[in-house]
């Protein structure tokens, strides 16, 4: 674990890798909020509405929560659910670190001895989480019929995704040799 | 000494604090909800016929994903005048009239809430809508309110009453669990129609406002669209398992059904539109062109019913509106065919 953190800190000292991590993190958070339907198409004019903040803890699904504000813009509506943003930020941080290390592996294969698709694959499950409450889009596309098992799997998707991201991050960092990294900012 | 990145540490602390607050709030809610009240939900004197046992229903009932109240009902509805409603003539709405008080519940709002606990013409009612089965049904609710349980039976809404926390099937209108298991809810007739048709007949209608007290994007339907029909609402796919399936019609064909204590019937709306009157044993369905819907009646001896011009029907030399025939009127429910069949596989039809 010590070595993994050391490698991570070493990589984060490089501004280029930090920028990549921040960029991926923001993009991942936006995708997560789209999957949760907190960002949706549709809306006209510019409006802002809110309700009492205590509603932010009311669950709308497994590990998903109520919005307490709504920003309507032309063509898009953003629901502001602080707990979803908090959960999404934690997942985005883990996904960003996974993908940043994967990026390093592509550029410096000699320093990294892991399958480079690992981090990318680990980042995908959390983006399916929004399907837990209203799965029709993915179900219609895949032509699936939802079973109890499917729903149960979706209900634990977010914690499983977080665990998966943590484990893969540890794995790929352990297989990255900080001594062989070229840490020059491009 | 290992230094943990500050952002990682802050996120972990945030998650732990957030989780703690969430648990605390849930425990408080569970404790408050356990306070018993006197039973106040009106039920029907005679139960509806069921094709399967209550135990079969509860065994087949499954989670749709959200927890109870995860899809929040509207418990303090606001209304606007028809002139300020942001609806197109072709948009689907649910209409209800009681004691001259006409209300409109737009589908684009109901798809996000499924239940409105309202009081119309002095009558407390729960207006309920299940997007997966296209069923809108109204129930007298007395002094309690109904909520969305998050469970589904045959892809259809399962509700609960906040007095006894019994679960109810929407289409069967029957209690599945708790104190009300086996009891039928006391139903009122709702109309599933378009805004243009409803407004033409009820120009003074009040329209449910999108100021619901909940933050949702009411211009976005998570399942599809009705104007024109598309997505889930026209696809052959049905998302959740069904107790009974049939290829007799397209799964999303609109049918109108009714049931009594002994029997159930349905008609295909498009067929009835052409024929205007269809008799099925001691039941008769008449088409209502004002709302593109049907009304089903029952009678031991059914009279000759002759369709006339202007959406009128003649019986024994008298003319009547389709919703006012001098027969025993039943609650008529519009539904996707697959849903009606899943609950009433032996339903009679023409």
| B88-142 pLDDT tens trace | 999 999 999 999 999 999 999 999 999 999 999 999 999 999 999 999 999 999 9
Question: Which residue bears the tokens 């903040």?
Answer: A53
Gap between the Cα atoms of A24 and A7, Å rounded = 19
Q: Which of A109-123, A168-182, B8-22, B96-110 has the highest mean pLDDT?
A: B96-110
Which residues is B279 bridged to in the sheet?
Answer: B284
Task: Give A148's contacts in chain B (Cβ within 8 Å).
Answer: 62-63
Task: Indicate if the pLDDT at residue B17 is higher than 60.
Answer: no
Task: Indicate if the pLDDT at residue B32 is higher than 60.
Answer: no
Gap between the Cα atoms of A91 and A165, Å rounded = 8
- pTM summary value: 0.87
pLDDT value of residue B208: 98
Sign of CA dihedral B181, B186, B189, B195: negative
pLDDT, mean of residues B286-298: 98
Question: Which residue bears the tokens 């407390």?
Answer: B124
CB B293 within 8 A of CB B285: no
Beta carbons of B64 and A151 less than 8 Å apart? yes
Q: Are strands B101-106 and B206-208 parallel, antiparallel or unpaired?
A: parallel
pLDDT value of residue B33: 43
Minimal C-alpha gap between A80 and chain B (Å): 9
CA distances for B214 relative to A92, B37, B94, B329, angstroms: 27, 27, 20, 37
Beta carbons of A50 and B235 less than 8 Å apart? no
**Residue B67 DSSP label:** P
Task: Indicate if the pLDDT at residue A6 is higher than 90.
Answer: no
Nearest to B65 among A5, A51, A154 (CB): A154
Gap between the Cα atoms of B131 and B156, Å rounded = 8
| pLDDT confidence bin for B35, thresholds 50/70/90 | very low
Percent of chain A with pLDDT over 70: 83
By three-state DSSP, how is residue A57 classified? Answer: helix
pLDDT value of residue A180: 73
Provide CB contacts within 8 A for B15, sequence distance 6+: A86, A87, A90
Beta carbons of A69 and B21 less than 8 Å apart? no
Can you state the angle between helices A82-107 and B6-33, rounded to 10 degrees?
150
Mutate to test the interface with B, among A96, A136, A166 (most CBs of B within 10 A): A136
Over the stretch A30-77, which tens digit does the pLDDT of each residue have?
Answer: 999 988 889 999 888 899 999 999 999 999 988 899 999 999 999 999
| pLDDT confidence bin for B315, thresholds 50/70/90 | very high
Sign of CA dihedral B260, B266, B272, B278: negative
Task: Give B238's contacts in chain A (Cβ within 8 Å).
Answer: 145
For B1, which residue in chain A has the nearest alpha carbon? A2
pLDDT value of residue A61: 86
Q: Could you tell me which of A165, A175, A157, A176 has the C-alpha nearest to residue A119?
A: A165
pLDDT value of residue A133: 44
pLDDT, mean of residues B308-331: 96
| pLDDT confidence bin for A184, thresholds 50/70/90 | low
pLDDT value of residue B31: 41
Average the pLDDT over each of A118-127, B296-305, B340-349 and give the range with the smallest value.
A118-127
**What is the greatest pairwise CA distance in chain B?**
98
Minimal C-alpha gap between B234 and chain A (Å): 11
Provide CB contacts within 8 A for B344, sequence distance 6+: B51, B257, B259, B264, B266
Over the stretch B81-92, which tens digit does the pLDDT of each residue have?
Answer: 999 999 999 999
Nearest to A37 among B66, B222, B237 (CB): B222
pLDDT value of residue A117: 74
Average pLDDT, chain A: 83
**Residue A110 DSSP label:** G
Beta carbons of A77 and B63 less than 8 Å apart? no
pLDDT, mean of residues B146-157: 96
pLDDT value of residue B131: 96
Q: Which helix (H) or strand (E) holds B230?
A: strand B229-231
Average the pLDDT over each of A171-185, B102-116, B262-276 and give the range with the smallest value.
A171-185
The interface predicted TM-score (ipTM) is: 0.84
Task: Indicate if the pLDDT at residue A132 is higher than 50.
Answer: no
Gap between the Cα atoms of A121 and B316, Å rounded = 73
Beta carbons of B66 and A61 less than 8 Å apart? yes
Average the pLDDT over each of A11-15, A121-125, B98-102 and give the range with the smallest value.
A121-125
Task: Indicate if the pLDDT at residue B16 is higher than 60.
Answer: no
pLDDT value of residue B36: 43
pLDDT value of residue A143: 62
Q: Give B187 or B21, the one with higher predicted confidence.
A: B187
Nearest to B8 among A44, A77, A93 (CB): A93
CA distances for A76 relative to A67, B222, B235, angstroms: 16, 14, 26
For A55, which residue in chain B has the nearest alpha carbon? B214
| pLDDT confidence bin for A144, thresholds 50/70/90 | low
Q: Kindly give the residue spans of alpha helices, DSSP state H, lying in chain B.
A: 6-33, 54-60, 107-113, 195-201, 269-275, 337-343
| pLDDT confidence bin for A104, thresholds 50/70/90 | confident
Average pLDDT, chain B: 91
Task: Indicate if the pLDDT at residue A161 is higher than 90.
Answer: no
């Amino acid at each position: 674990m010590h070595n993994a953190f050391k490698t991570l800190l070493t990589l984060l000292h490089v501004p280029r890798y930090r920028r990549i991590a921040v960029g991926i993190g923001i993009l991942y958070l936006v995708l997560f909020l789209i999957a949760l339907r907190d960002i949706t198409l549709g809306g006209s004019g510019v409006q802002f509405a809110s309700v009492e903040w205590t509603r932010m803890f009311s669950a709308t699904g497994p590990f998903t929560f109520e919005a307490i504000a709504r920003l309507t813009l032309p063509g898009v509506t953003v629901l502001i659910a602080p707990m979803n943003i908090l959960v999404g930020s934690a997942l985005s941080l883990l996904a960003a670190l996974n993908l940043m290390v994967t990026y390093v592996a592509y550029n410096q294969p000699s320093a990294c001895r892991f399958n480079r698709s690992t981090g990318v694959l680990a980042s995908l499950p959390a983006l399916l989480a929004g399907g837990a409450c209203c799965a029709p889009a993915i179900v219609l596309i895949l032509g699936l019929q939802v079973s109890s098992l499917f729903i149960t799997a979706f209900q634990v998707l977010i914690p499983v995704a977080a665990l998966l991201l943590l484990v893969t991050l540890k794995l790929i960092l352990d297989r990255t040799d900080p001594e062989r990294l070229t840490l020059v900012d491009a | 000494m290992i230094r943990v990145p500050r952002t990682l540490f802050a996120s972990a602390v945030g998650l732990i604090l957030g989780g703690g607050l969430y648990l605390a709030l849930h425990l408080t809610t569970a404790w408050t909800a356990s306070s018993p009240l006197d039973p106040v939900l009106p039920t029907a004197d005679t139960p509806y016929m069921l094709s399967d046992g209550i135990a079969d229903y509860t065994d087949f009932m499954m989670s749709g994903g959200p927890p109870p109240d995860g899809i929040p009902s509207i418990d303090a509805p606001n209304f606007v005048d028809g002139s300020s409603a942001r609806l197109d003539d072709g948009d689907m709405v649910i209409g209800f009239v009681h004691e001259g008080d006409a209300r409109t519940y737009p589908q684009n709002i109901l798809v996000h809430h499924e239940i409105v606990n309202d009081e119309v013409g002095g009558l407390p009612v729960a207006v309920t809508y299940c997007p997966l089965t296209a069923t809108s049904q109204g129930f007298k609710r007395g002094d309690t309110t109904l909520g969305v349980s998050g469970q589904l039976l045959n892809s259809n809404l399962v509700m609960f009453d906040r007095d006894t926390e019994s679960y109810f099937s929407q289409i069967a209108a029957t209690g599945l669990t708790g104190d009300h298991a086996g009891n039928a809810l006391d139903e009122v007739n709702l109309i599933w129609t378009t805004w243009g048709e409803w407004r033409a007949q009820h120009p003074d209608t009040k329209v449910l406002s999108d100021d619901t007290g909940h933050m949702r994007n009411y211009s976005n339907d998570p399942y599809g669209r009705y104007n024109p029909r598309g997505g889930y609402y026209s696809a052959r796919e049905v998302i959740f398992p069904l107790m009974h399936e049939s290829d007799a019609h397209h799964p999303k064909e609109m049918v109108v059904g009714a049931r009594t204590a002994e029997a159930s019937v349905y008609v295909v709306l498009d067929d009835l539109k052409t024929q205007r009157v269809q008799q099925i044993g001691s039941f008769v369905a008449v088409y209502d062109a004002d709302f593109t819907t049907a009304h089903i009646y029952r009678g031991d001896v059914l009279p000759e019913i002759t369709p006339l011009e202007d959406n009128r029907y003649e019986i024994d030399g008298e003319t009547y509106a389709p919703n006012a025939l001098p027969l025993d009127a039943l609650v008529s429910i519009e539904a996707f065919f697959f849903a009606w069949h899943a609950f009433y596989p032996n339903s009679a039809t023409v």
